[in-house]
Amino acid sequence: MLLTRLKRNLCRKHLHTYIFSGSLLLFLTVALINVITECNINNINETPNRVCMASYYMTLILTASGEKNCTRIIRGDDNEIRKALLNNLIVKNRKVCASPKEYLDATKDCKAFRKKRKYIEFSLSKEEVDFPIAYSMVIHDNVEMFERLLRAIYAPHNIYCIHMDKKSPESFQEAVRAITSCFHNVFVASKLENVVYASWSRVQADLNCMKNLLQSKVEWKYLINTCGTDFPLKTNAEIVSTLKSLNGKNSMESESPPSFKKRRWGYHYVVKPDTNYIARTDIKKEPPPVPVPIFSGSAYIVVTVEFVKALFENPIAKQFIQWAKDTYSPDEYLWATLNRVAVMPGYLPAHLKYDISDINAIARLVKWQSLEGELKNGAPYKQCTGTHRREVCIYGTGDLNWMLQQHHLFANKFDPHVDDNVIQCLEEYLRYKAFHPLVDLF
């Protein structure tokens, strides 16, 4: 009798154990199925939860090619940087960019193109969704570099206007239009300019995009303008955070000009017929129709939507824009001056106390050849490890550690033919940071 009871109790215990184990297994299986379903990258309707972020990252990871270790390069490892710089000197390792035809072929199937190129087609946070950004992108060549820049800054809730130089090769323009057609929020400007270096056409290209962007249904907060040799130093989330911290102010270089620059707006300039050159005439200009002195700055700006609207509505802004059309390199003083006029939204006062250099603004990080040197001797930055074009550093791999420790949103200039390693490592870094925002790689 006792033995029979003991057998029955043991059976019940085993049965309970089996039932518990089976239930646990069923629960884990259902949970796993739910996670897999929930983390389906092709079925994201809202911002992803934290559980799925690692899964999405592994699908969208951008890994630099070759044997270089980007993490070590970013941290400033001299040996790793030296290896990468030496690698650039080997002819067979030099970057060959994809041709316009290759992009035309790749974009015949837009869905496959976006997937293969690993675009992030969903918003990564509600904060980013609630703070859309507008981009004016002025380009003229190298379709691959444009596409890589677009991929680096792309978010489905932002809006992107592309201005191509009207005289760019037809194959280039066709490829750019093919790329933009694959996205609901990327478009080519409705009016294209024949851009001549240092002429009004460079400003007009941005104005054309600004006008189109104001007509879009996206309620963007800030505008950032870029060119084909730019690349971001921050993720979209970091850019949003930085723009919010401006509290409605604009950010750009704006300083009292050196005397040699004043001749740029002291005389009437013309673009010579049938050429791509601008020349000075002997006709002196009337004083500018603004209540402040002219300030020197940069073509690249970070401005509020209200500032952009004022460019087309405010009488002072409209008069100054008209006055500036026959001057030399107006892009390097127009924005800088308007940002010191009190009627312009997001302005800074015209007093010299509010002068701001390019190194202190957030719009663009640039290394000027004449200012490179030893930090211990007071230079603002070390020697460029790439090469120079028009006295501006085309960044090399050895500049990456310094760049990523600055507050700027973008840096200029990059050229994959000079050093593609630095661009690849930036791509790898930004993609990692987008999905791991709390991880410090330094």
Residue 159 has which token pair? 């809006």
Say how far apart CA 104 and CA 439 lie, in whole Å.
38
Beta bridge partners of 393: 388
Known active-site residue 128: no
- Within 10 A of 335 (CB to CB), how many other CB atoms are there? 26
Catalytic residue among 147, 332, 427, 428: 332
Alpha-carbon gap, residue 381 to 278, rounded angstroms: 33
Q: Which residues of 69-105 are buried (b: 16+ CB within 10 A; e: fewer)?
A: bbebbbeeeeebbebbbebbeeeeeebeebebeebbe
Query: Which of 164, 176, 155 lies closest to 218 in space, CA to CA?
Result: 155
Report how far residue 294's alpha carbon sits from residue 335's, in angstroms, rounded to the nearest whole number: 10
Q: Report whether 403 contacts 233 (CB < 8 A).
A: yes
Amino acid (1-letter code) at residue 279 = A
Three-state secondary structure readout of 266-314 = CEEEEECCCCCCEEEEEEECCCCCCCCCCCEECCCCEEEHHHHHHHHHC
Phi, psi torsion values for 427, nearest 5 degrees: -60, -45
Q: In the numeric block, which tokens belong to residue 38?
A: 């929930």
- Cα–Cα dist 170/168, whole Å: 6
Residues designated catalytic: 332
